[in-house]
Amino acid sequence: MSRAHDGHRSFFPVGNPFRMILPRGAHLSPKLTEVLASYENGLASSLRKLKPEAASNVLTLSWMKLAVDCLSELHANIATLITELELPVSDWDEKWVDIYLNSSVKLLDICIALSSELARLDQGQLLVQYVLHVLDSGNQVPSQEQLKRAEASLKEWMERSSERSPRLDNCLTALQELSGNLSLMKVKHSAKGKVLMRALYGIEAVTVFICSVLVAILSGSSKALVELDVPEKFGWSKAFNDVHKAISGELSKLTRGSVAAVKELEEVELCARQLHALTSVSQLEDKNASLAHAVSQSKEEAMRIMIS
63-111 pLDDT, tens digit each: 999 999 999 999 999 989 988 888 777 777 788 788 788 888 999 999 9
pLDDT (average), residues 46-61: 86
- Radius of gyration over every alpha carbon of the chain, rounded to an integer in angstroms: 26
Query: What one-letter code names the amino acid at 295?
Result: V
Chain segment 182-203, per-residue pLDDT in tens: 888 777 778 888 898 899 999 9
pLDDT band at 298 (very low <50, low <70, confident <90, very high): low
pLDDT (average), residues 277-286: 64
**Does residue 60 carry a pLDDT above 50?**
yes
Contact of 161 with 259, CB cutoff 8 Å = yes
* Residues of the chain above pLDDT 90, percent: 20
Q: How many angstroms separate the CA atoms of 47 and 41, rounded?
A: 10
Q: What pLDDT is attached to residue 73?
A: 92
Who's near 184: CB < 8 A, 6+ residues apart? 23, 197, 198, 201
Query: What one-letter code names the amino acid at 134?
Result: V
Q: Which of 12-16, 80-84, 150-154 comes out lowest in average pLDDT?
A: 12-16
CA distances, 47 to each of 52, 55, 246 (Å): 10, 14, 12
pLDDT band at 4 (very low <50, low <70, confident <90, very high): very low
Most confident of 33-37, 122-126, 279-283: 33-37
Chain segment 127-146, per-residue pLDDT in tens: 888 887 887 766 666 777 88
